[in-house]
Amino acid sequence: MVPPPLPPPPGPATVVAGAVIENGRVLLAQRAAPPELAGRWELPGGKIEPGETPPDALVRELREELGIDVTVGEPVGVHVPLPTGHVLRAYAVRRVAGTPSALDHDAVRWVGAADLHEVDWVPADREWVADLVMLIGPE
């Protein structure tokens, strides 16, 4: 008899975020909610749903939030623990179709390496600034 598959091990739920990098700039999105994060900028993404891998979730989230299709590449930077108990992970992604629009955010914009330090980041994403500067390269 084949035993049923084991449930996934308990652990912190994951939030994934994507770094779309093109022409020396990374795509940032301005949060509309919750109030304590509204107006601040992030790498777009969201929570992994049951049955999804991190890349599955990122493809779905960027389609829902920005209207773009992406392929998911290498992880970026450290895993960041969130106050909610989630763990936040970033990946470099490549845009393969669509023009980014703020479907779920207040705005989107492309930012070059020299300006990344001055962005009003959501706190967790600030951890990745040095990694993003390295990925983007000099202007």
- Per the structure block, which two tokens stand in for 3? 């035993």
Cβ at position 48, least distance to ligand C5P in Å? 10
Cβ at position 74, least distance to ligand C5P in Å? 17
Cβ at position 109, least distance to ligand C5P in Å? 15
- Kindly give, in sequence order, each residue whose CB lies less than 8 Å from that of residue 36, ignoring residues fewer than 6 positions away: none
Q: Which residues bind ligand C5P (CB under 6 A)?
A: 15, 17, 37, 42-43, 45-47, 82, 86, 88, 122, 124-125
Integer angstrom CA distances of residue 95 from 20, 26, 29, 58, 106: 7, 11, 15, 12, 20
Task: CB nearer to ligand C5P: give 15 or 27.
Answer: 15
Per the listing, tokens 């390269």 go with 137
Task: CB nearer to ligand C5P: give 11 or 138.
Answer: 11
